[in-house]
């Protein structure tokens, strides 16, 4: 944000210069007097604008890449700036204190959760090579080496530069500096059209197939060809005159292959151009310290696989069934059975009136009326009057899902977005459809929770409503699996720090079929980029773990070394760490295309290692307690609030994956190997 006066204006004489407030690459906040020149588009096809500036506190020249308020209202534009910031910070960490630091822009800071988000770089070295007219043969070789080194460093991070062109490669007379980081993406993702011919590879320009590091080899070869010859090459084949140019001959012909499979990798190209550089150990990715913690995760999984489950537990790990036909009332948390003598429907005045089914002989009409009917629950005479939708009572035992964590974890936002993703058809790719249990209740949920959140409103904290004041029933849906089987799913929000030891609470926990433990990164991770958030929220790191987790785990009885109820752990509010490995990777991943016993294993290992390395084992108590427990990264909003709102609405990321895991563990989503193997995985030896 900018305070005092708008950026780029000095104000009347004597007026203090405007201060720019931002986060530096270490995660710490900085405020500096700033002056900026006029802004221009960095590329007519892109929303980002760019302007030169000066940070007066250190006399530091800078370049600001930013979005206007109008452009920032477009989620796609924000995502593009987020991508650039994440790439720039990752490269900054990778090359810091190495011989390759000169190859990429130096990040000064960023401020992305604001109405006009921006990214600050140190001023570039040199000028775009497109404005360089004469370069000696020896300089051309240095240029080719440096550009290929940059590709190799990106490849080592699993990244591919799609934006290589004479406008994004700078030359200062001795070395290259590669910009265009907004075009960097992860290898293996589906290609989308990007760039312009001839610098974009043919398949990248068409948006066909999947991103390959050899896409960038084509682009680098085209830039080098134009640098040497002074003209662009063909858009779909090798130039006919390569042999006339000594720097190009013998090294680049294969780089112009029409498909990626025919081109050399960045490493193979570097071996041709500068074999001594290709063998330097500094090109390898730096260790991040997570390896011992990844190994601990694999050992823990192995122990779970080798420990047999109790013989009397159901195959899907659910608690023992209630009496036939009895389900858990989502309000009073007592058992209830369908009773045709206690049914009601609403009239035009939205008042309940008794339903007499004996007067309806047509079976089709009877079924339709039953779907809109409710039953009065009298299981607990001391509980206020309440009614249960009949479909909740007529499709077998409901699957009850409980969200667990302290009130600060953002459970309500996460659960709201999770349900919204289901109703948007997010489970259809797995063969699962949905229907509301109570259309009126669902419409109210959408109106009061989903729509305000999606429009950028911060939802109010909700207090528990239940027999013991801790279990709040949120919503229920009917899910239909690929075989046509229908099962109600009910979602609860548990304020774990307010749990009290009562028989009612114990009975409720015994009836829970699936648990979602939500980790608040500000409470768990003592990382410096979270210090400002902790200060703003008035919280501190808790090395003892979430008290809500311990309270619930201590109440669940176990018949062996592990609890058999399926569970997941979710690192919520992950947008706070969206530039922290491995969070940066997973937030950009799409939903899994297929489900198998090892699905989510890599993500689980990454989250486990992150928590074990920085938070400690206390935060992993749920994983240690449950036989089947996957770990996930998710963000319900995609960014942080600013002045009580989310500036560009909310962009949920990976909110449905934890539920997909739970549904696979319960067999609603079919997984090869069966529900019992999901979350533990196959033996890999």
Over the stretch 511-523, which tens digit does the pLDDT of each residue have?
Answer: 789 999 999 999 9
The H or E element spanning position 574 is none
**pLDDT attached to residue 517:** 96
**Per-residue confidence at 609, pLDDT binned at 50, 70, 90?**
very high
Comparison of pLDDT for 139 and 594, the residue scoring more? 139
Q: Are 188 and 159 in contact (CB under 8 A)?
A: no
**pLDDT attached to residue 506:** 56
**pLDDT attached to residue 179:** 94
C-alpha span between 240 and 146 (Å, rounded):
25
DSSP conformational letter for 263: S
Q: Which long-range contacts (CB under 8 A, 24 or more apart) does 338-346 make?
A: 338/375, 338/390, 338/393, 338/394, 339/375, 342/375, 342/376, 342/378, 343/370, 343/373, 343/374, 343/375, 343/390, 344/373, 344/374, 344/375, 344/376, 344/387, 345/369, 345/372, 345/373, 345/374, 346/440
Terminal-residue alpha carbon distance, the chain = 53
C-alpha span between 23 and 315 (Å, rounded):
50
DSSP conformational letter for 12: S
- Give how far Cα 656 sits from Cα of 168, 559, 660, 661, Å: 37, 31, 6, 9
**pLDDT attached to residue 68:** 94
Cα torsion through 237, 243, 247, 252, rounded to 10: 30
Comparison of pLDDT for 347 and 659, the residue scoring more? 659
| pLDDT of residue 468 exceeding 80 | no
Q: Dihedral sign, CA of 559, 562, 566, 571?
A: positive
| pLDDT of residue 613 exceeding 70 | yes
Give me the half-sphere count of Cα atoms (radius 13 Å) on the Cβ side of residue 451: 7
* Residue indicated by tokens 């420990």: 307
What stretches of 347-410 adopt beta strand conformation (E)?
352-354, 374-376, 387-389, 399-405
Is the previous residue joined to 198 through a cis bond, with omega within 30 degrees of 0? Answer: yes
Instruction: For residues 550-575, give the mean pLDDT.
Output: 91
C-alpha span between 523 and 511 (Å, rounded):
29
Residue range 279-315, pLDDT digits in tens = 776 665 555 688 999 999 999 999 999 998 887 554 4
Average pLDDT of the residues of the chain: 86
**pLDDT attached to residue 19:** 84
Residue range 130-187, pLDDT digits in tens = 887 678 889 999 999 999 999 999 999 999 999 899 999 999 999 999 999 999 999 9
**Which alpha helices (H) appear in 579-628, and where do they start and end?**
583-587, 601-614, 621-625
Cα torsion through 312, 313, 316, 317, rounded to 10: -170
Judged on CB neighbours under 10 Å (0-12, 13-18, 19+), 539 is middle
C-alpha span between 681 and 661 (Å, rounded):
12
C-alpha span between 414 and 517 (Å, rounded):
11
Q: Are 632 and 600 in contact (CB under 8 A)?
A: yes
> How do the residues of the chain divide into helix, strand and coil, expressed in percent and rounded to 5?
35, 20, 45
Q: Are 402 and 436 in contact (CB under 8 A)?
A: no
Please report the domains of the chain, with CATH numbers, ordered by start residue.
Answer: 2-122 (3.30.200), 131-283 (1.10.510.10), 291-305+396-677 (3.40.50.300), 327-388 (no CATH)
**pLDDT attached to residue 466:** 43
**pLDDT attached to residue 312:** 59
Tokens of 281: 């150990």
**Per-residue confidence at 372, pLDDT binned at 50, 70, 90?**
confident
CA 367 to chain CA centroid, Å, is 42
**pLDDT attached to residue 489:** 94
C-alpha span between 460 and 446 (Å, rounded):
15
Is the previous residue joined to 582 through a cis bond, with omega within 30 degrees of 0? Answer: yes
Q: Are 67 and 79 in contact (CB under 8 A)?
A: no
| pLDDT of residue 401 exceeding 80 | yes
Comparison of pLDDT for 207 and 683, the residue scoring more? 207
Residue range 194-233, pLDDT digits in tens = 999 999 999 999 999 999 999 999 999 999 999 999 999 9
Q: Which long-range contacts (CB under 8 A, 24 or more apart) does 306-312 make?
A: 307/560, 307/561, 307/562, 307/627, 309/560, 309/562, 309/564, 309/627, 309/676, 310/559, 310/560, 310/564, 312/559
Q: Which of 58-67, 612-621, 634-643 has the lowest mean pLDDT?
A: 634-643
**pLDDT attached to residue 10:** 44
Neighbours of 208 (CB within 10 A): 13
Instruction: For residues 369-392, give the mean pLDDT.
Output: 86
C-alpha span between 84 and 75 (Å, rounded):
14
> Which of 6-20, 261-275, 317-331, 335-349 holds the top average pLDDT?
261-275
Beta pairing partners, 177: 170
Neighbours of 447 (CB within 10 A): 10
CA 545 to chain CA centroid, Å, is 23
**pLDDT attached to residue 680:** 85
**pLDDT attached to residue 317:** 44
Q: Which long-range contacts (CB under 8 A, 24 or more apart) does 292-297 make?
A: 293/608, 293/609, 293/610, 293/612, 293/613, 294/605, 294/606, 294/608, 294/609, 296/608, 296/609, 296/612, 297/604, 297/605, 297/608, 297/609, 297/612
| pLDDT of residue 504 exceeding 80 | no
| pLDDT of residue 684 exceeding 80 | no
Q: What angle do CA 400, 404, 407 make, to 5 degrees?
A: 130
**pLDDT attached to residue 198:** 95
Per cent of the chain over pLDDT 70 is: 90
> Which of 21-30, 165-174, 251-260, 494-503 holds the top average pLDDT?
165-174
Q: Are 153 and 171 in contact (CB under 8 A)?
A: no
Judged on CB neighbours under 10 Å (0-12, 13-18, 19+), 382 is exposed
C-alpha span between 461 and 408 (Å, rounded):
9
| pLDDT of residue 13 exceeding 50 | no
Going by C-alpha positions, the residue among 669, 638, 657, 531 that lies closest to residue 83 is 638
Beta strand 49-55 pairing with 387-389:
unpaired
Comparison of pLDDT for 580 and 500, the residue scoring more? 580
- Give how far Cα 331 sits from Cα of 87, 240, 341, 657, Å: 47, 76, 20, 27
């Amino acid at each position: 944000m900018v305070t005092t006066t708008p950026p780029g204006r000095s104000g009347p004489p004597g007026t203090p210069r405007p201060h720019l407030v931002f986060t530096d690459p270490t995660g710490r906040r900085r405020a500096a007097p700033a002056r900026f020149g006029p802004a221009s588009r960095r590329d007519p096809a892109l929303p980002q604008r760019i302007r030169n500036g000066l940070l007066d506190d250190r006399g530091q020249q800078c370049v600001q890449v930013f979005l206007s308020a109008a452009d920032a209202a477009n989620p796609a534009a924000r995502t593009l700036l987020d991508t650039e910031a994440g790439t720039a910070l990752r490269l900054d960490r990778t090359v810091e204190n190495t011989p390759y630091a000169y190859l990429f822009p130096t990040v000064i800071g960023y401020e992305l959760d604001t109405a006009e988000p921006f990214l600050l770089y140190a001023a570039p070295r040199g000028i775009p090579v497109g404005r360089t007219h004469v370069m000696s043969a020896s300089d051309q070789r240095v240029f080719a080496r440096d550009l290929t080194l940059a590709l190799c460093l990106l490849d080592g991070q699993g990244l591919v530069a799609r934006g290589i062109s004479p406008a994004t490669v700078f030359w200062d007379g001795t070395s290259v500096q590669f910009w265009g980081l907004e075009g960097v993406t992860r290898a293996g993702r589906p290609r989308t059209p990007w760039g312009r011919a001839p610098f974009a590879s043919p398949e990248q320009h068409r948006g066909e197939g999947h991103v390959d590091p050899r896409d960038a080899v084509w682009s680098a070869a085209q830039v080098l060809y134009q640098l040497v010859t002074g003209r662009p090459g063909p858009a779909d084949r090798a130039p006919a005159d390569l042999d006339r140019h000594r720097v190009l001959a013998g090294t680049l012909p294969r780089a112009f292959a029409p498909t990626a499979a025919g081109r050399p990798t960045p490493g193979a190209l570097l071996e041709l151009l500068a074999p001594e550089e290709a063998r330097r150990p500094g090109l390898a990715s730096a260790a991040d310290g997570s390896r011992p913690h990844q190994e601990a995760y694999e050992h823990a999984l192995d122990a779970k696989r080798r420990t047999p489950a109790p013989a009397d537990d159901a195959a899907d790990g659910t608690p023992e069934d209630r009496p036939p036909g009895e389900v858990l009332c989502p309000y009073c948390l007592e058992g209830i059975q369908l009773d045709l003598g206690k049914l009601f429907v609403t009239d035009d005045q939205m008042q309940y009136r008794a339903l007499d089914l004996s007067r309806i002989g047509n079976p089709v009409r009877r079924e339709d009326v039953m779907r809109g009917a409710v039953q009065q629950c009298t299981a607990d005479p001391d509980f206020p009057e309440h009614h249960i939708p009949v479909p909740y009572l007529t499709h077998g035992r409901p699957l009850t899902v409980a969200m667990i964590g302290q009130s600060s974890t953002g459970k309500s936002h996460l659960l709201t977005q999770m349900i919204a993703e289901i109703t948007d058809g997010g489970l259809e790719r797995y063969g699962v459809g949905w229907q509301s249990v109570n259309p009126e209740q669902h419409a109210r949920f959408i109106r009061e929770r989903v729509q305000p959140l999606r429009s950028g409103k911060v939802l109010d904290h909700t207090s528990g409503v239940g027999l013991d004041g801790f279990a709040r029933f949120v919503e229920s849906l009917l899910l239909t699996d690929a075989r046509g089987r229908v099962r109600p799913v009910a979602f609860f929000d548990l304020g774990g720090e307010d749990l009290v030891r009562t028989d009612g609470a114990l009975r409720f926990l015994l009836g829970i079929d699936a648990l979602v433990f939500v980790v608040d990164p500000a409470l768990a991770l003592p990382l410096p980029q979270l210090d400002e958030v902790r200060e703003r929220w008035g919280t501190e790191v808790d090395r003892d773990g979430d008290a809500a987790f311990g309270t619930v785990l201590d109440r669940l009885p176990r018949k062996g070394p592990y609890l058999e109820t399926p569970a997941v752990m979710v690192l919520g509010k992950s947008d706070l760490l969206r530039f922290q490995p491995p969070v940066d990777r997973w937030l950009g991943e799409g939903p899994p295309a297929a489900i198998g016993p090892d699905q989510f294993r890599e993500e689980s290992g990454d989250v486990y290692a992150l928590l074990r390395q920085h938070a400690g084992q206390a935060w992993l108590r749920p994983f240690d307690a449950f036989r089947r427990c996957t770990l996930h990264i998710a963000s319900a909003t995609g960014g942080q609030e600013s002045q009580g709102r989310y500036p560009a609405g909310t962009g949920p990321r990976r909110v449905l994956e934890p539920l997909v895991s739970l549904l696979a563990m319960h067999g609603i989503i079919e997984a090869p190997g069966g529900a019992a193997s999901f979350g533990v995985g196959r033996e890999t030896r």
